[in-house]
Structure 1
Amino acid sequence: MDDEPLVVQMLHDLLIDGPFAIETATDGYEALVKVGTFRPALIVLDVVLAGLDGIEACRCLRRLPETREVRILGVTGHPSMVPVLLGAGADACVTKPLDLDVVCREIDRLTSAMTTDGRASAGGAPAPRRPAVRTAVSHSLTGREG
């Protein structure tokens, strides 16, 4: 992976024990292509990505009918970017340096009210979860952006 393969591996190892199919991407364009074929329930999306940044990728995901329902957890090293990410369509945000317990709690919260096909269930009641995707970009976890 990208410039911090050990960090990506750490996140992968953290999530692989759960009921998740995991796919990674190193830039915004690659993430959008993979989303089109992989059909994730959840994407962990860094603000700073090569090619297409995370904010534009988030906006693209929200414009497309087939990805409007995908949950997006935004990641940024700049707390001032949280409102920008939320405005672009992220469902929640976490800031760097990442606390893996916080990341896991947000992932659980975002995926807890999904039906088996990955859509939000009626009334927000918990429903069986389908495997979710974590699009993890290596620098998403390092605290270094740009």
Structure 2
Amino acid sequence: MFSIKKRRRSKGFILIYVMFIVSFCIFIALNCFKSEVLIRQNNLSMEKKILKVDPTQKIREYMLTDLDELLYKDVKMITNDEIKNYLSSKTDSIVQYDNSCIKYDKDDYLVVKYYVNNKFYKEEYYKCKVENNFIFYKFIN
């Protein structure tokens, strides 16, 4: 009646399926590796951007810290009048850092002049104010 014929398969037929599955697995592994490399590059660039130091911010921080230490050390009574008298007695620059300096203006302002790479960059004005024996520097536009 019915006869079942045994089909003879070639030896390379199964090899095609194996090659297809292996190439698919390698493709997935390479995509995972590529995504991890992109994540790492993104993290490194973000870290570099976050850790980048603004040159004016660094200069401002150092000079205002030095000025603060100088005022607390040299002024006996921390009041507005005493600080104004002390700062007005200074004729030259009060604090210097990398060619940048802080000077006291006749209008009761602290003038901070920034020099970056030995070139004038900008100038900022601060008002010195004392509250509860603490010195505050208010930025004036």
TM-score by length of 2: 0.25
Over alpha carbons, which structure has the higher Rg? 2
TM-score by length of 1: 0.25
Higher-RCO chain (CA-CA 8 Å, sequence separation at least 6): 1
Q: Relative to total residues, which structure has the larger strand share, 1 or 2?
A: 2
Q: Relative to total residues, which structure has the larger helix share, 1 or 2?
A: 2
